[in-house]
Structures are given as C-alpha cells and as structure tokens.
Amino acid sequence: MESFIQISEKETDRPFWILRTEHTAYVLEVDAQGWVQHVYWGPRLLLDSDYRVAVASGPRVWERPTGISREEFPAWGDPKYGEPCLKATFADRTRAVVLQYTGYEITTEDDLPVLLVRLTDPHYGLEVHLHYRVIPEFDLIERKAIIVNGGDQSVMLEHILSAAWNFPLREGYRLKTLGGMWGSEFQIQDIELPIGQQVMESRRGHTSHHANPWFGLDCGATETHGEVWFGALAYSGSWKFTAERNAYGRVVVTGGVNDFDFTWKLDAGESFETPVFVGGFSAAGYGPASRSLHGYERAYVLPNAKPRPVLYNSWYVTTFDVNFENQRDVAAVAAEMGVEYFVIDDGWFGKRKNDYAGLGDWTVDRDKFPDGLNPLIDYVHDLGMQFGLWVEPEMINPDSDLYRAHPDWVFYFPNRPRTELRHQLVLNMAREDVREHIFKALDDLLTEYDIRFVKWDHNRSYSEVGWPEAPEGRDREIWVRHIRGVYDIFRKLRANHPDVIFESCAGGGGRVDLGIMRYTEQFWGSDNTDSSDNLLMFEGFSMAYAPLTKMSWVTEPDHFSGQRPTPLAHRFLAGMLGSLGVGAELTKWTPEQRAEGQRWISLYKDIRETVQLGDLYRLRSTRNGPLAAFQFVHPTGQESVVFAFLDLAHFGPYRACLLLQGLDPQARYRIDGQDTVMSGAALMQGGVQITLNGVFASQIIRIRRED
C-alpha cells in the first residue's frame, strides 16, 4: 500500500502526497498557509522530486494573498472567483468558510488505499474530509468529501460539490461531453475550451437524456493518441459539472450535486457525504480512458460482472395490451430462438390500459391475467426461460388507488398546479412512509412471484419539487433525499432478492450513471432501437460505460426512425454491441427469419464473454465517415471479434482496412473462415481488409489465437 500512497514531509514539515496508480500519479500538498493545493496529475515521473518541479511550473492564479491557488477543495469567502466546492452560511449569518489543513490518515477501503485529508474551519469547527481512493490497476482516483459539523450550531450548506480537478498548463484544451435528447442519447460533443465557464448539468431531478455526468479533457487526442483526463460522477439526481479556463491558463473541472434550488441543513454533529467523482488520466487517447472506466465498473461498481442473458421484451410488440394469451404465444417463439429471459413490459398491473392510469398500484391486472402471473411464469419456465417484469416505482398516475389514498405523497407546492408529464407525478421518496410503501409493494411482488429480472423505469423529469411537510429548513434537501431514498429501496430489494437482475431505464437512457450502476446490472440505453442510430449512441455510451451494461433490442425496423430499412443482420449485429435483447414481432416472423434470428442468438452466446467482459476498441465511427467498426478482445486474449457496419449505400462496394488493436504482436491468430495464420503484429500493422456492399451492410469477423 505504501507504494500507492506516499507521503513526504521531510523538507518542509508539510505533507506532500503522491498517489500512484500503475501508470499515473496524482500529487497534492499542504502549502505554507495550510491550504491543500493540487500539484500534479499525469504520467508517473521517475523521481519523487520531479513532482516538485511541477509545482513551480504549474499555472497560477493571482487571487489569494500568496498569489497561487490550485486548491483541491476551494471554499467560498476569501479572494477567489472560480467555482467553489463549498459555500455555506453559519448560524450567525457569516457566509465565508475558511478551511485549514488539520491532519491526514492513510487507510484502506475494500483493500484499496485511501488517503483522507482533514480540513477544519478554525472558528466554527466545520470539517471537510477529503477522500482519495486509489484504484491502481485502472489508473483512477475516486474522490468524495464528507462535511462534518463539529460546531454546536446548525450550518446551512448551499453548494457542496464532490471535487475540483486541476489540470496542467497546456495549449488548446478541448472538452468532450455527452449530450442528446430522448431517442438520441450519448451524442459526443467536442469543443475547444474557451475562456470562461462551461456548465454541464441536469436540473431535472434525474441524470437526464440531455447531458450525462462524464467529461473528457484533451489537447487534440484521438482514440489511440494524446493525453486525456476524464471523470464521471456517481450520482443519479440533479448534478452539475463546470469546466473553467481563465486567461492565466488555469483549467479546472468541478462536479457534484447541483446547487440549483438546493440547501442542506447540517445540525451540530451531523455530516453530509458527497457522491463519488472518479477521475483518470490516459497517455494514449480515449480508448484506454474508456477501458479504464469499463474495467473499474466491472470490478468495483456493478453489483456483478456475470454475462448478461439474452432477453425478450414485450413493449414494442404489445405495448399496454399484454395478456396471458399474447405473451404465451410469443414466449414459445422466443424460447425456440434461444432467448433466455422473457420480460413483460408496461401494462400488466393496476388499471393500466394506457398511460393515463395505474402507476402506483403494483398488483396484477386480473382482466389481463385472470389467474395472476403464475400460469405464464410456469409456462415460461417450462420453455427453459426465466421471467421478468417492468415497474416504474417512483411514479404515480393521479388516476390510481394510491394517489386517491395519498395525494400528499408526491412532489408539490401548495397553491400551485401539479404539472403532469406523461400523465404522471413523482412520488416523494424523501418521505419514509412513501419509501416503505413502495419497498413493500416491490418486495411482495418479488416474493410472491419467481421474478428474476426487473426493468425499473422512470418516465418523467421533475417539476414543482416541493415537500411542504418537511422539517423546518429542510425542504430543499428533497433533491438529494429523494435519490438517496431510491438507492435505499434498491439496496434493500437486492439484499432480499439477490438473484434478480435490475435494469435502469428512464424513458430510455435518462438515468445512466455510476450512481445507479451500483444497484443495477444494466441500462436501457434508448427508446430508439434503430440499429444505425444505435451505433452512434453505443459509441458515446461506451466513452463512459461498460458495453455489458447496455441493453439493445432487435425490433422491427420502423419503431422509431421511420422505416429505415436496416436488414435483420444489421439489427442483430448492432444489438450484439453489449447485451442483446429482442423486442420484435416474432409471431409474425417467417420461418426463415426465425431461423436467422436463432443463428444470430446462438452466435451471440458464443461470443458473449468477449463482448461483455472483454476490452472494447472503437475502430471507426460514423461521425467521421460511412463506416462504424468496433473490436472486442476476450480477457484471456484467446479471441477477438470485430463488427463493421456500413451506414448507408455507398458508391459500389466499400473497401476498408481495419487496423486491429489489443492483440499480442508475437502471437498467431486465425480469422474464422480463412486458412492463413497471421501474427498479432500483422493484424495490427497491416490490418484486416473488409468489403461491405449494399444498403446497411454489416459484417462480423472472429479471430482466434492459435497458440
């Protein structure tokens, strides 16, 4: 452990910490004023003394009296004008926080080294504990802050972020972010960072389709070259990142809980813990940056990294009109094609004939399933599949028994309308009675029925986020208490039902983040199932999130983008980029289509470990040309799979040479269907020739190691 966190106090009597990962170093120090300052973040340097040179050459800000500030956790009050991590009001109305270094500790958490640095406000006793957990094998540092009120009066926190990340002086910083909207989530944006502040945020109460809490910072890096700093926030409520560059060349990214309309009353002795903000550095472009996050998620964030099953989902086929007969019919075809989990989406509960009614009443609709769900579940089991169900626990239709009984259980303000979106309101999970009710409803459901998969949906952003019954001064805590309440329900359900797989969905990819990932195996990435659009969404999604967490269904081609004529092969191959599902009208498929589907699913099961647990290399993007290509390498290196997609028709056959990555240059490989053996070096330097012909042509290439 000593080798990952090293402290030197020799020369100055002030700590100088070097946090080491396998390839990087993150260095901070206490300066002469007792402020904790950032020193260095980048590749490991040979000598410890090298890092001190970085202090001298780093960008400066002429703000505080000493003239230098690169604080790890700036608090607002004295002369500094960038985004603070902490702003608070004390009981006597003082609004300036002073944080002085008061000690440190080196501990472990899950066998990983942790540096804990303590800062204290000398007058009011407010403490901030900065946590740095080092993840050596993935070159990542997890940061969070715990604010402890060590004084004897309440403090009102008004702005409390997880971290400020400082970057070295460079020319031409560029910022990468993920933006989008419903149906086109995870679009990569790339801008030159101007002087000023860029804000990426959600004020919607959930992560959002419009922006995702991930960033990349580089000076012109590609997938394989250039320095990249990146980070992702583990939080599913309203969040905020700022990326700020000033004319001195200082670049800082901050992030955490959104301060918009938010305050938190910290009584004497209480503490507030921020979400984790994980950050990393890659010396060789965005490919390694993403693989670091993917590996970290599989090892440290996800509830498990077991291969995900192939599932069928009813939504685009039967929508709200699910019943025993129509589900039974499609289940038989799905099983024949190799589907492993059969999932009924919306429509099975309450009075859910459409989206005007039923949310909140989590009991089986006996009109649709007269004998409950068991006859269907038994049938699904007999076909060799597991059974799954859709729920939307945080939401409620005013037309529901639950709302009629408890109209005060939702977000609302007195004397104001309760604005419905998709005819629904949001249950206030900050309230314990609401949490308990919803937990019990779900727990009962999972206890009564043999359900092994839950798709947990969330179909509206918040408005009128009021909590009139909150204790005095605590109503704005609702933003954080609500999402903590949701996490709490997940935690308890997972403990009681460890064999259930959970999928996070929010009208598609509106709640994809490292916070909810702790409780859910996978995400429904988008309601847009067009396989060509999916290539772009997968590319953006995979900047931050591991492929196995992205569920994609093969549907009929016209469900979203208006009749784009993607062939079945294109739809299946695009669906295999991550976790594969089927949501098509299988009972209407011809025997030939079913046989083709069966072949694709069987191939997918063969390569699933490589795709889900292996390393991803993004070879080509339809952002830059007509071809998208992705390569996966099995964790053992024994197999690699390449997917190539031609976006539209081209002028005749489209020929390309794909330079593979991640192979052993010294090893021998054989491409399936070819006799020639090639070295890894040849496949990476000379590449694989492909020819794609026709509208939405696609190809899969399997490569196996020979020795």
- The yes-or-no answer on residue 110 being catalytic is no
Helix (H, G, I), strand (E, B) or coil at 550: strand
CB of 132 to ligand GLA, least distance (A): 37
Q: Of 335, 369, 343, 365, which is closest to residue 352 (Cα–Cα)?
A: 365
CB of 610 to ligand GLA, least distance (A): 27
Nearer to ligand GLA, 182 or 413 (CB): 182
CB-neighbour burial class of residue 363 (10 A; exposed 0-12, middle 13-18, buried 19+): middle
Nearer to ligand GLA, 88 or 512 (CB): 512
The span from the CA of 338 to the CA of 700, in Å, is 20
Give me the catalytic one of 259, 345, 527, 533: 527
CB of 390 to ligand GLA, least distance (A): 5
Nearer to ligand GLA, 510 or 540 (CB): 510
Count of H-run helices and E-run strands, the chain: 12, 38
Q: What residue is closest to ligand GLA based on CB? A: 346
| H or E element in which residue 479 lies | helix 478-496
The span from the CA of 124 to the CA of 122, in Å, is 6
If one counts every other C-beta atom within 10 angstroms of the C-beta of residue 495, the result is 8
> For strand 668-671 and strand 5-8, is the pairing parallel, antiparallel, or unpaired?
unpaired
Helix (H, G, I), strand (E, B) or coil at 390: strand
Nearer to ligand GLA, 505 or 514 (CB): 505
CB of 422 to ligand GLA, least distance (A): 8
CB of 463 to ligand GLA, least distance (A): 18
Residues in the chain: 707
Encoded tokens for 576: 């295999």
Nearer to ligand GLA, 287 or 508 (CB): 508
Give me the catalytic one of 218, 259, 457, 533: 457
Nearer to ligand GLA, 519 or 523 (CB): 523
Q: What is the DSSP code (8-state) at residue 275?
A: P
- The yes-or-no answer on residue 267 being catalytic is no
Encoded tokens for 266: 């910290």
**Residue spans of beta strands (DSSP E) within 599-653:** 615-620, 627-633, 639-646
Q: In 400-437, which positions are buried (b, 16+ CB within 10 angstroms) versus exposed (e)? A: bebbeebeebbbbeeeeeeeeeebbbbbbbbbeebbeb
CB of 177 to ligand GLA, least distance (A): 23
What backbone torsions phi and psi does residue 563 show, to the nearest 5 degrees?
A: 60, 30
CB of 454 to ligand GLA, least distance (A): 12
The span from the CA of 703 to the CA of 707, in Å, is 13
Q: Of 79, 156, 90, which is closest to residue 124 (Cα–Cα)?
A: 90
CB of 455 to ligand GLA, least distance (A): 7
At 576, the amino acid letter reads M
Nearer to ligand GLA, 29 or 513 (CB): 513
- Residue listed under structure tokens 């900050």: 430
- Residue 473, CA atoms < 13 Å, CB-side half-sphere: 11
The span from the CA of 36 to the CA of 132, in Å, is 13
Helix (H, G, I), strand (E, B) or coil at 407: helix
Q: Which residues contact 525 (CB under 8 A, 6 or more apart)?
A: 185, 186, 508, 509, 512, 537, 538, 541, 550, 551, 552, 578
CB of 689 to ligand GLA, least distance (A): 39
The span from the CA of 364 to the CA of 448, in Å, is 11
Nearer to ligand GLA, 239 or 456 (CB): 456
Per-position DSSP letters for 289-348, written without gaps between them: HHHHHHHHIIIIISS--PPPPPEEE-HHHHTT---HHHHHHHHHHHHHHT--EEEE-TTS
Please report the sign of the dihedral spanned by the C-alpha atoms of residue 68, residue 240, residue 104, residue 93: positive
CB of 264 to ligand GLA, least distance (A): 32
- Residue 165, CA atoms < 13 Å, CB-side half-sphere: 31
CB of 431 to ligand GLA, least distance (A): 25
Work out the angle at residue 412's Cα, subtended by the Cα atoms of residues 411 and 414, and round it to the nearest 5 degrees. Answer: 160
CB of 401 to ligand GLA, least distance (A): 19
Helix (H, G, I), strand (E, B) or coil at 502: strand
Nearer to ligand GLA, 308 or 484 (CB): 308
Interface residues with ligand GLA (CB under 6 A) are 315, 345-346, 390, 457, 459, 505, 507-508, 524, 527
Cα 222 to Cα 143, 358, 401, 661, 693, distances in angstroms? 26, 49, 55, 14, 28
Contact at 8 Å (CB) between 169 and 60?
no
Nearer to ligand GLA, 532 or 555 (CB): 555
Nearer to ligand GLA, 31 or 345 (CB): 345
- Residues assigned a catalytic role: 457, 527
